[in-house]
Amino acid sequence: MLLNKERQFIKDYGLKLLEKELTKGTGGNLSIFNREKNLMAISPSAISYKEIDINDVVIMNLEGEKVEGKQKPSTEYQLHKIIYKNRKDINAVIHTHPTYSTTIACLNEEIPPIHYLIAYSGYKVPCAQYATFGSKKLAKNVSKALGHKYNAALMANHGLITAGINIKKALTITEMVEYCAELYYRTKNTGDPKILSNKQIKKVMNKFEDY
């Protein structure tokens, strides 16, 4: 069986998404890319994270072809593979529907640097234009929003996508972005939030490199 380690991580981190209330039911999806073998392990479609077995995890190549697995891959596999193609620094992708990030996404707004932890994403969290879930258009919109400098993006009227060098980092980014989204939502409802400058965020990024 291919990518046993990655399969287990997909199962384990899928459960973490539920435990941390970052998504619900079968919502969202996650994947890990093995660059040495040029293969992607991705969560199956329409199976609860509580029920996923490592045999359910689907193995695909970046041409979108299923290499191993009986289940259907996540409907968002296009989204995952385009990120791996365009970003050589990314080996794991997590897509979720957390409450506050999705709230901001439904406003079609980005998350500005409301807090220094936004640096986990970059200078902000951009918002990708809306397109139907599972479509190539959505994949292109998200890839454009991430570019080569952001590790997270909101998906308009949909949810959140994060990308990291490994699955642990991708989950951390998801948590930090959702925290910043909640702060932004709460401060906007309280008053006029004060936004950090790019210079201030750049200092944080530099400190993170040695953290």
Tell me which residues are annotated as active site: 76
Q: Could you give the CA distance from residue 179 to residue 104 in angstroms, rounded to a whole number?
A: 12
Q: Could you give the CA distance from residue 90 to residue 122 in angstroms, rounded to a whole number?
A: 14
Length in residues, the chain: 211
Cβ neighbors of 153 (< 8 A, separation 6 or more) are 121, 125, 126, 127, 128, 142, 145, 146, 160, 161
Torsion 42-72-83-172 (CA) sign: negative
Question: What would the DSSP string read from start to end of 171-199?
Answer: HHHHHHHHHHHHHHHHHHHHS-PPPPPHH
Q: Could you give the C-alpha distances from 66 to 44, 62, 137, 199, 202, in angstroms and in order? A: 11, 9, 21, 44, 40
Q: Could you give the CA distance from residue 199 to residue 206 in angstroms, rounded to a whole number?
A: 11
Beta bridge partners of 30: 94
Residues 12 and 30: beta-carbon distance below 8 Å = no
